[in-house]
Amino acid sequence: MGVDWQTFWPRIVEATGQTILMVAVTLVIGSIFGIIIGLLLFVTRKGNILENAFLYQIINFLINIIRPIPFIIFLVAISPLTREVIGTTIGTWAAIFPMSIAAAFSIARVVENNFISIDPGVIEAAKAMGASPLQIIYTILIPEALGPLVLGLTFITISLIDFSAMAGTVGGGGLGHVAMTYGYQRFDTSVMIVTVVILIVLVQLAQWVGNTLSRKILRR
């Protein structure tokens, strides 16, 4: 059996749009929270500019319990919360909620690692020049870590495309949903191939944008 491509194309286009929307919105929300959490984690570390063992332990613990949970399980596990916040557990926005939470904690770890790799001497130099903790954050930490941070976010974006496909299989819409209903349940190979090709193109695109940006920032 085959599909009617005449009516199918618009569905593909719509699903691609949904995937891009899910990934883009999640990336923005996840980055905002991820950077804030990662920053808090870094500055509250022992010996750092706003050392606070209590806060550090709490954030560290949260990240460590959320990150290892496979996304598909996390998705289902927090669905009651999703229903509370979004009002439904089905559709693009209902997928964005758990994706953003998972992304924020992954990004937090990436951000923390990028900050750790900044030469502590540079932070010390800024301090010696009279920079306040807040000034250190936005004039040293963020600009100095930006290049590797963009690469880290690119990596996250690609796993978000993966997440979005999983969210699609449980009613999130997007290419995952299309692949599931047409490809898996109706054994339509051509639909499968089309979605796979689109996913590959999206991943390549994300990688290319990320590489180009980080190369600009890192000047190499």
Partner 1 sequence: MITFKDVSKTFTIGKREVHAVRNVNLTIEEGEIFGIIGFSGAGKSTLLRLVNVLENPTAGAVEVQGVDLASLRPTEVRKVRRRIGMIFQNFNLLTSRTVAGNVAYPLKLAKMPRAKIKERVEELLRFVGLSDKAKDYPEQLSGGQKQRVGIARALATSPDILICDEATSALDPDTTGEILRLLKKVNKEFGITILLITHEMHVIQSICDKVAVMEDGEVIESGGVFDTFTSPAHQTTKRFIRSVQQDLPSPSLLDEWRQKGGKQLYRIIFKGEVASDPVLSRVTRKHDIDVNIVYGSVQEIQAKFYGNLLVSFDGDVGKTANAVEELNEIVQIEEVDVTWA
Q: How many Å apart are CA 205 and CA 76, to the nearest integer? A: 30
Of 189 and 219, which has the nearer Cβ to partner 1?
219
State the nearest-atom distance from the C-beta of 138 to partner 1, in Å: 11
Cβ closer to partner 1: 68 or 130? Answer: 130
Q: How far is the CB of 213 from partner 1 (least distance, A)?
A: 14
- Of 95, 147, 140, 99, nearest in space to 120 by CA: 140
Each residue of 65-103: b (16+ CB within 10 Å) or e? Answer: ebeeeebeebbeebbeebeeebeebeebbbbbbbbbbbb
Q: Rounded to an integer, what distance in angstroms lies between the CA atom of residue 148 and that of residue 13?
A: 33
Instruction: Read off the tokens for 49.
Output: 């500019």
Task: CB nearer to partner 1: give 11 or 127.
Answer: 127
Quote the least distance from Cβ 191 to partner 1, whole Å. 46
Cα gap 213→3, rounded to integer Å = 40
Stretch that binds partner 1, among 9-17, 46-54, 66-74, 141-149 (CB under 8 A): 141-149
Q: Which is nearer to partner 1, 12 or 217 (CB)?
A: 217
Q: What is the dihedral of CA 16, 18, 23, 29, to 10 degrees?
A: 160
Q: Is 73 or 128 the residue whose CB approaches partner 1 more closely?
A: 128
Q: Say whether residue 219 binds partner 1 (CB under 8 A).
A: yes
Instruction: Give the footprint of partner 1 on residues 152-211 (CB under 8 A).
Output: none
Torsion, CA 19, CA 73, CA 83, CA 24, rounded to 10: -20
Least distance (Å) between residue 104 CB and partner 1: 25
Number of residues that bind partner 1 (CB under 8 A): 21
CB of 42 to partner 1, least distance (A): 17
Give min distance, CB of 114 to partner 1, in A: 12
| DSSP of 23-66 | HHHHHHHHHHHHHHHHHHHHHTSTTSTT--HHHHHHHHHHHHHH
Residues 100-139 vs partner 1: string with x where CB under 8 A?
A: -------------------x-xx-xxxxxxxxx--x---x
Tokens for 109, please give them.
């770890």
State the residues that interact with partner 1 by CB under 8 A.
119, 121-122, 124-132, 135, 139-140, 143-144, 146-147, 217, 219
